Chain A
Amino acid sequence: MQKVKVFMYFPPEKTDKPITYRLVKDYGLMFNILQAQIQPNKKGRLMAELEGTAENIEKGLQYLEEQGVEYRIFNKNIIWHEEKCVHCGACTAVCPSRALNMNGDEWTLTFDHSQCLMCELCVKACPLNAMDVNIFI
């Protein structure tokens, strides 16, 4: 099983078609919507994580193309700008996975990227503006 994050751009005439349903049904892809902006008869944008076999992901993406849905695979991570950080700990108040944690006796912030769920709560919680979302394609 693999995971990819994808931006999908739906042309206005496709927003009423059950395209995501087909991705799930026909290609067995697990679908986790990260962000969506879809309205009838307007250009729509969907940001989602797809999980499935490599083959099915490829087929699913091919199906999107056939339907006239533009897509881009992207990666997302949270960046910690350490130079701006004062190690106050405000971000640890909201971090659900404890990826952001105050390290023992030193009271120094540590960030374990492998534990990060990308919920982005820390981005808003940080008073020093030291946490950012980085999206790269």
Chain B
Amino acid sequence: MAKSFDEINSKIKDGEVVVVTAEEFKDLVEQKGVSQAAKEVDVVTTATFSPMCSSGAFLNFGHSDPPIRMSKIWLNDVPAYGGLAAVDTYIGATELSETRGFEYGGAQVIQDLLDGKRVELRAESYGTDCYPRKEITTYITLDDLNQAYLYNPRNVYQNYNAATNSTDRMLHTYMGTLLPQCGNVTYCTSGELSPLFNDPVFRTIGIGTRIFLGGAQGYVAWEGTQYIRNQEVIRDGVVQYSGATLAVIGDMKNMSSRFIRAASFEKYGTTLFVGIGIPIPVLDEDMASFLAVRNRDIYTQIVDYGVPRRSRPVLRKVSYEELRSGSVELNGKNVPTAPLSSLRKAREIAQLLKSLISQGKFFLQEPIQKLHEEGRFNPLKETEVE
């Protein structure tokens, strides 16, 4: 009774497809069993809405007259990369404004563009025979740009550490504000709704997979940076630790700040909340078993961010069910937990993707190439300077 991508796409075309969100699917499995759920459902939608620092956009401005080979570029005083062709750039989410510091950065430039706001473009050049102009200051909007696409080298973490702080002072981190003496624990995934908990072995997600990215239809472009895949990450078909990541791409012109939101973490800097939804076809019962995974089955580790080293001490292993309960036991104390990833937004995306597929507006794309089955995350080797 196995189903193929093609068969499922035909059902989408004919309006006969059965789509449910990952949370709905898990409930269905608990009521009717894996075998029946696999028969009834064709597609399961998964989603996440989390801060993802490794995000940014490629932009093309078009040429001025006389033309300029922009070598230094600022968008609303946020430096953008000037090492590409004359009027191409990349604006990274965490790049900070030279005038406004932590409150405004590349992420905010991206959101301003999505909101249709006018953004100041300032550029300098050394001038060449073919590009004589040496400076320009003007304004751009998203509509004016020839191309504007998000290319996020590392999104959709399969899993991520939960954070706490054993020191005596409050820490401000990308995992939020961590109270002294392990006063709180923060975590940052949508748990059982998160895409890569539901296809832990990448049977259906690979290069070319069509995804919902910030409101647009985007794609998995490549494995993400710091992509980890090995025996330790997945045991008995269940994700145990921080694992794989995805590089994703999508057209900003079809995105909305409803699903892409700029953020600024105190004393850390700016980042981008990215809303991503990935549809997973229920190819057979094996796939249905993966999709049945619940918060009580998936674990992460609580890591002490009070130790400012690459390898931080792991205090304990914890299930998402416990994290979601509002408190966890740590060193004999009951410590409150808080999410940083918006489950409400992730659910909104999973529901929206479900309705797009049901209405025949979103089709599945089988990966054109599988992702690597092994992935190591090596540290930086520091070599003595000669």
CB within 8 Å of B: which residues of A?
A: 86-90, 92-94, 102, 106-108, 121, 124-125, 127-129
Say whether A93 contacts B177, CB under 8 Å: yes
Say whether A128 contacts B261, CB under 8 Å: yes
Q: Which of B310-359 contact A (CB under 8 A)?
A: 326, 336, 338-345, 347
Closest 9 CB pairs of A and B: A93-B338, A127-B263, A89-B339, A107-B343, A125-B177, A87-B344, A88-B342, A124-B266, A92-B338
* Nearest CB of chain A from residue B222's CB, rounded to whole Å: 27
B289 contacts chain A at the CB level, 8 A cutoff: no
In angstroms, Cα B263 to Cα A94, docked, is 17
Residue of B nearest to A104 (CB): B326
In angstroms, Cα B172 to Cα A61, docked, is 40
In angstroms, Cα B340 to Cα A94, docked, is 12
Q: Which of B17-70 contact A (CB under 8 A)?
A: 49, 51
Q: List 22 A-B contacts (CB under 8 A).
A: A87-B342, A87-B343, A88-B49, A88-B51, A88-B273, A88-B339, A88-B342, A90-B176, A92-B336, A93-B186, A93-B338, A93-B340, A94-B176, A94-B177, A102-B339, A107-B342, A127-B176, A127-B263, A127-B264, A127-B265, A127-B271, A127-B273
B86 contacts chain A at the CB level, 8 A cutoff: no
In angstroms, Cα B177 to Cα A124, docked, is 8
* Nearest CB of chain B from residue A81's CB, rounded to whole Å: 13
Residue of B nearest to A124 (CB): B266
Interface of B is mostly: strand
In angstroms, Cα B345 to Cα A72, docked, is 43
In angstroms, Cα B50 to Cα A89, docked, is 11
In angstroms, Cα B176 to Cα A25, docked, is 43
A127: which B residues are within 8 A, CB to CB?
51, 176, 263-265, 271, 273, 340
B121 contacts chain A at the CB level, 8 A cutoff: no
B172: which A residues are within 8 A, CB to CB?
124
In angstroms, Cα B195 to Cα A80, docked, is 31
In angstroms, Cα B323 to Cα A89, docked, is 13
A86: which B residues are within 8 A, CB to CB?
49, 261, 273, 342, 344-345
B179 contacts chain A at the CB level, 8 A cutoff: yes
Say whether A93 contacts B176, CB under 8 Å: yes
B186: which A residues are within 8 A, CB to CB?
90, 93
* Nearest CB of chain B from residue A10's CB, rounded to whole Å: 30
Q: How many residues of B contact A (CB 8 A)?
A: 28
A129: which B residues are within 8 A, CB to CB?
103, 264
Say whether A108 contacts B344, CB under 8 Å: yes
In angstroms, Cα B345 to Cα A127, docked, is 15
In angstroms, Cα B336 to Cα A92, docked, is 9
Q: Which of B178-222 contact A (CB under 8 A)?
A: 178-179, 184, 186
Q: Which of B111-164 contact A (CB under 8 A)?
A: none
With contacts A86-B273, A121-B177, A125-B176 taken as known, whether A93 is within 8 angstroms of B342 at the C-beta atoms is no
In angstroms, Cα B42 to Cα A137, docked, is 60
In angstroms, Cα B263 to Cα A36, docked, is 31
In angstroms, Cα B344 to Cα A87, docked, is 7
In angstroms, Cα B53 to Cα A47, docked, is 38
Residue of A nearest to B163 (CB): A93
B273: which A residues are within 8 A, CB to CB?
86, 88, 127-128
* Nearest CB of chain B from residue A130's CB, rounded to whole Å: 10
Residue of A nearest to B177 (CB): A125
In angstroms, Cα B271 to Cα A24, docked, is 48
B347: which A residues are within 8 A, CB to CB?
107
Most chain A CB within a 10 A radius of its CB, from B261, B264, B338: B338
B341: which A residues are within 8 A, CB to CB?
88
In angstroms, Cα B347 to Cα A121, docked, is 28
In angstroms, Cα B51 to Cα A106, docked, is 20
In angstroms, Cα B345 to Cα A2, docked, is 43
Most chain A CB within a 10 A radius of its CB, from B103, B263, B266, B342: B342
In angstroms, Cα B274 to Cα A88, docked, is 12
In angstroms, Cα B339 to Cα A108, docked, is 11
Q: Which of B61-109 contact A (CB under 8 A)?
A: 103
